[in-house]
């Protein structure tokens, strides 16, 4: 396992970040501990969770695991999601942020997190209030670093500008969705990250397992297990994003490239995402210990640059013909940055 700096910080993180969104939900408590232990033994020192994952149970399970190894783990969590019935039980206003970080620390059983992130933009709270609240979290010692998730390039630029203007702690990381089938981050977000030294920790590098060939029939209706299953909290999101004929066609071509170069689809998908220069880590979840073990083996597999190039060509054709879909802000369209493997 290799370790890299998160953006321009001095924080060393494993390139493989364990996503904990299943823990306490599709994955029970004991299996969650087994998965985290195996990941740690495999060299993973980076774990990402959130206060909303499985209604807080994910943070509790992660807290159980880190209890005897806190200093060895880079712990990341997020806040913003609805956690109660009251008007201020959602968002990133000062009241929510200060309560949310305290609640997360209690569930995690620690007095600080290494990275505290905004889970998604809050368009109802002025950005100046949000960055001040996150600056207070750092100043209070409850977080060592701060970051954002699901921000567009324009939203991150606005936040960094507000931090600069007020002399506040800067966001060190961003967490976008990024894979061969979804490259929105390349338009504006990644160029900004490169300019500002913000590290990307990308989620869904395997497109929720879609790129692995788990589903080969576009007309398939009944799906059991995984992120497209009805018992997964975000199943509709994954279906709406990936379940179309163009993506099925691209997936078949991607699988053919993996077979041609005798590499696993898991390896090719993960290494493709990691190749982008602003990507510090790929967030990879696991429902079972077997999945985790397969992912760790795949991570260590060498991938020929030619395989990366051919996969990129497939993605280029798909992405260049995709409609322009701004994430939150509207603005001038910039051309997609073409990623090519380097020797």
Q: What angle do CA 99, 104, 106 make, to 5 degrees?
A: 95
- Cβ(122)–Cβ(129) below 8 Å: no
Whether the Cβ atoms of residue 54 and residue 60 lie closer than 8 Å to each other: no
Any residues with CB less than 8 A from the CB of 201 and at least 6 apart, and which?
6, 13, 17, 46, 48, 76, 147, 173, 174, 175, 279, 280, 281, 282, 283
- Cα atoms in the Cβ-side hemisphere of radius 13 Å centred on 29: 6
Residues taking part in catalysis: 53
Angle between helices 127-139 and 94-108 (to 10 degrees): 40
CA geometry: angle 101, 102, 107, nearest 5 deg: 95
């Amino acid at each position: 396992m290799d370790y890299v700096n998160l953006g321009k910080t001095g924080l060393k993180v494993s390139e493989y970040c364990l996503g904990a969104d299943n823990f306490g939900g599709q994955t029970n408590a004991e299996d969650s501990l087994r998965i985290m232990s195996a990941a740690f033994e495999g060299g993973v020192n980076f774990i990402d969770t959130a206060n909303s994952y499985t209604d807080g149970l994910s943070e509790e399970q992660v807290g159980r695991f880190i209890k005897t190894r806190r200093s060895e783990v880079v712990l990341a969590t997020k806040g913003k999601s609805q956690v109660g019935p009251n008007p201020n039980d959602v968002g990133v206003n000062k009241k929510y942020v200060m309560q949310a970080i305290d609640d997360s620390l209690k569930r995690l059983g620690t007095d600080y997190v290494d990275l505290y992130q905004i889970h998604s933009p809050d368009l109802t709270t002025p950005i100046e209030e949000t960055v001040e609240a996150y600056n207070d979290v750092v100043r209070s010692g409850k977080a060592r670093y701060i970051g954002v998730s699901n921000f567009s390039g324009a939203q991150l630029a606005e936040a960094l500008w507000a931090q600069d203007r007020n002399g506040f702690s800067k966001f060190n990381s961003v967490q976008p969705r990024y894979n061969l089938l979804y490259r929105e981050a390349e338009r504006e977000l990644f160029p900004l990250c490169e300019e500002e030294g913000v590290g990307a920790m990308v989620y869904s590098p395997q497109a929720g397992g879609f790129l692995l060939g788990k589903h080969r029939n576009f007309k398939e209706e009944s799906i059991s297990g995984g992120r497209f299953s009805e018992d997964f909290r975000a199943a509709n999101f994954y279906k709406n994003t990936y379940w179309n004929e163009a993506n099925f066609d691209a997936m078949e071509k991607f699988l053919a490239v993996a077979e041609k170069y005798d590499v696993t689809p898991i390896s090719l998908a993960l290494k493709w995402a990691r190749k982008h220069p602003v990507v510090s880590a790929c967030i990879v979840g696991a429902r079972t210990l077997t999945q985790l073990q397969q992912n760790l083996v795949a991570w260590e597999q060498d991938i020929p640059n030619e395989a990366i190039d051919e996969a990129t060509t497939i993605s280029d054709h798909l992405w260049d013909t995709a409609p322009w879909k701004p994430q939150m802000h509207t603005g001038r369209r910039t051309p997609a940055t073409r990623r090519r493997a380097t020797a």
